[in-house]
Amino acid sequence: MRKSRPSIHILLAVSQTIIREALRYLVEQQPDMQIVGETGEGREVARLAADTRPEVAIIDLRMPGISGLEILGRLAATACKVRVLVLATVEDKDRIVQAFRLGARGVALGESTMKVLLTGIRSVADGKYWIAGDTVSNPVKGLRKLSAKSKVGAHRKAFGLTRRELEIISAIASGHSNREISDRFSISQNTVKHHVTNIFDKVGVYNRLELALFAIHHNLVSKA
């Protein structure tokens, strides 16, 4: 006999009552999901998460008062291990990238179907990244694809970066290793490491994933 999957405990944080009620109805029809808390007020999310210990929190990025980004920051400061799926639109591209930097695991766009949203909830609950309809192992690739859909582009800023550093940032965001970057630009791996260290210092990040997300957010990634 096949063992049924345990319920995914879900916290809803959506300000619009009609959308929150629709999501609650949708989730309540699923045998593997259970709503353990809900709120339309951003200030309540961290407390509810601590009280109910959900596996997944569905959070509207455009919550009034305290934004979805601030909610993510507050959750990160707690011991709660909730995985967050944010609700957004393509026009929220910059905030979506920031959300992933703050620990979000997935994003559902407003035009997503209910079936797609349910897939996203299950993917996030399984510890996967889920971006606008696709399960991805690397959130950077998914965010670059999402960024290409956006009509709203951030102005490119230099941040004191050299042309070579910008080229290396684009290569890192594309998933290339130091060795591949070395071969691509005909420079030694030690030189690549030196460039990467300088880039980290200039933009204030600590690892390659943070750098890639930073680069997408600030439109530093070459489209080539």
Span 116-127, pLDDT tens digits:
888 889 999 998
pLDDT, position 151: 42
The pLDDT confidence band at residue 92, using thresholds 50, 70 and 90, is confident
Domain boundary among 96, 124, 149: 149
Residues 102, 31, single domain; the answer is: yes
Decide if 96 contacts 61 (C-beta within 8 A). yes
DSSP state of 188: -
**189 near 123, Cβ under 8 Å?**
no
Contact indicator for 181, 168 with CB cutoff of 8 Å: yes
Please compute the mean of the pLDDT values over residues 182-204 and round it to a whole number.
92
5-25: pLDDT as tens digits: 568 999 999 888 888 888 888
pLDDT tens digits, 57-90: 999 988 877 888 999 988 888 777 899 999 887 6
**Residue 11 has what pLDDT?**
95
Is residue 158 one of the residues assigned to a domain?
no
Whether residue 17 is found in the same domain as residue 112: yes
Report whether 83 contacts 55 (CB < 8 A).
yes
Q: What is the pLDDT of residue 219?
A: 74
Kindly report, residue by residue over 34-44, the tens digit of the pLDDT. Answer: 999 999 998 89
| Summary mean pLDDT of the chain | 81
**Same domain, yes or no: 55 and 134:** yes
Whether residue 222 lies inside any domain: the answer is: no
Six-digit token string for 28: 């309540």
Which residue segment(s) compose the domain that 95 sits in? 8-149
Q: Is there a single domain that holds both residue 168 and residue 126? A: no
Which helix (H) or strand (E) covers residue 166, if one does?
helix 163-173
Q: What pLDDT is attached to residue 2?
A: 38
pLDDT at 112 > cutoff 60: yes
Torsion-angle region of 132 (φ positive above 0: left; ψ -120 to 50: alpha; else: beta): left
Quick check: is 130 in a domain?
yes
- The reported pLDDT for the residue numbered 142 is 62
Q: What's the pLDDT at 224?
A: 44
In total, the chain counts a number of residues equal to: 224
Which tokens in the block code for residue 206? 């600590």
Per-residue confidence at 32, pLDDT binned at 50, 70, 90?
very high
Q: Are residues 127 and 105 in the same domain?
A: yes
Asked whether residue 16 is domain-assigned, the answer is yes
CB 130 within 8 A of CB 123: yes
Q: Are residues 28 and 132 in the same domain?
A: yes
Based on the domain organization, do 70 and 136 belong to the same domain?
yes
- By DSSP bridging, strand 129-131 and strand 134-136 are antiparallel
Is residue 155, in this structure, part of any structural domain at all? no
Comparing CA positions, the residue from 39, 42, 44, 35 lying closest to residue 68 is 42
Residues in Cβ contact with 200 at an 8 Å cutoff, skipping those fewer than 6 apart: 206, 211
Q: Which residue has the higher pLDDT, 112 or 174?
A: 174
Predicted model pTM = 0.65
54/58 Cα distance (integer angstroms): 10
Q: Are residues 17 and 93 in the same domain?
A: yes
Does one domain contain both 63 and 21? Answer: yes
Phi, psi at residue 82, to the nearest 5°?
-65, 140
Provide the pLDDT for residue 138.
58
Pair 27, 117 in one domain: yes
Which stretch, 32-36, 62-66, 103-107, 173-177, has highest mean pLDDT? 32-36
Structure tokens at 14: 């959506």
**Total Cβ atoms within 10 A of residue 52:** 17
Query: Domain with 186 in it: what CATH number?
Result: 1.10.10.10
Q: Are residues 175 and 71 in the same domain?
A: no
Question: d(Cα 71, Cα 85) in Å, to the nearest integer?
Answer: 12
